[in-house]
């Protein structure tokens, strides 16, 4: 599926690393049968990467490892939110959740009645989310801003010394690998001068080596 999409993008000279590239892809997908096949392949591959069973197995392991700590699970689409809610019996919040129900879920999460809640990007901004010690990101965008916001959900309400954990679960050999890599800040490269090897320093003093007797051997030094 990914190969079908990538071949079309290469032939059309479209790069998906920007908003303009995505807009060109959407327009091109409506103009030819090859474009429509590429868009369908893109959506199918994305659905697989978002809802893979391997991710849910890892999610189960992480929830068991950190129980009963307060935990937030983030996904990027409603279908995955509802699937997790059904399979793990976890309260869910999406943009379809009524405001009154949303407040009730968050209040019960705050007082510990619900130790875990699964949410979509509906909570990115403007929602007072209770403090949590663990967050699990099952899917997301490459937006650095969104990533920082999700980190803030588990860090901002604790004390300065409080430690929190963020797990990011991605599907290997999918576009998620590149998205996660672009999201993280790149380490600074050292200058060439910093990589030069220096010769070993000459010792200032000669330290004689004197053999010491072994523990099991008698001291054979002559008496004074």
List the domain range (segments joined by +) for residue 9.
Answer: 2-50
Per-residue pLDDT at 89 exceeds 90 = yes
Q: Classify residue 144: in a domain, yes or no.
A: yes
Is residue 33 within 8 Å of residue 26, measured between CB atoms? no
Structure confidence by residue, pLDDT tens digits, 180-216: 666 565 555 544 434 444 444 444 445 455 555 554 5
Tell me which H or E stretch contains 134: strand 134-137
Give the pLDDT band (50/70/90) at residue 40. Answer: confident
Q: Are residues 72 and 172 in the same domain?
A: yes
Which region among 21-30, 119-128, 160-169, 205-214 has the lowest average model confidence (pLDDT)? Answer: 205-214
Structure confidence by residue, pLDDT tens digits, 43-72: 877 766 655 678 898 999 999 999 999 999
Q: Are residues 71 and 171 in the same domain?
A: yes
Q: Classify residue 195: in a domain, yes or no.
A: no
Q: Are residues 10 and 105 in the same domain?
A: no
Q: Are residues 36 and 83 in the same domain?
A: no
pLDDT at residue 4, as a whole number:
87
Q: Classify residue 220: in a domain, yes or no.
A: no
Q: Spell 133-167 as b/e; 16+ CB within 10 A means b.
A: bbbbbbbbeeeeebbebbeebbbeeeeeeeebebb
Q: Are residues 118 and 128 in the same domain?
A: yes
CB atoms within 10 A of CB 121: 21
CATH code where residue 62 lies = 3.40.50.300
Q: How many domains does the chain have?
A: 2
Which region among 35-44, 89-98, 100-109, 209-218 has the lowest average model confidence (pLDDT)? Answer: 209-218
Q: Classify residue 93: in a domain, yes or no.
A: yes
């Amino acid at each position: 599926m990914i190969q079908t999409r990538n071949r079309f993008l290469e032939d059309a000279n479209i790069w998906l690393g920007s908003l303009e590239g995505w807009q060109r892809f959407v327009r091109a997908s409506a103009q030819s049968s090859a474009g429509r096949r590429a868009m369908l392949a893109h959506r199918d591959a994305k659905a697989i990467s978002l809802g893979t069973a391997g991710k849910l197995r890892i999610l189960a392991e992480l929830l068991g490892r950190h129980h009963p700590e307060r935990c937030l699970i983030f996904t990027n689409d409603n279908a995955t939110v509802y699937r997790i809610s059904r399979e793990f019996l976890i309260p869910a919040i999406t943009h379809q959740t009524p405001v009154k129900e949303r407040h009730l879920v968050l209040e019960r999460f705050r007082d510990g009645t619900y130790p875990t809640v699964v949410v979509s990007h509906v909570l990115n901004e403007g929602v007072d989310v209770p403090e949590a010690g663990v967050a699990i990101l099952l899917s997301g965008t490459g937006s650095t801003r969104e990533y920082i916001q999700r980190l803030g959900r588990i860090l901002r309400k604790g004390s300065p010394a409080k430690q929190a954990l963020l797990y990011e679960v991605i599907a290997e050999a999918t576009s998620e690998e590149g998205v996660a890599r672009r999201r993280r800040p790149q380490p600074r490269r050292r200058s060439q001068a910093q990589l030069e090897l220096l010769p070993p320093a000459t010792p200032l003093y000669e330290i004689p080596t004197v053999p010491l007797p072994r523990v099991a051997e008698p001291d054979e030094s002559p008496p004074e």
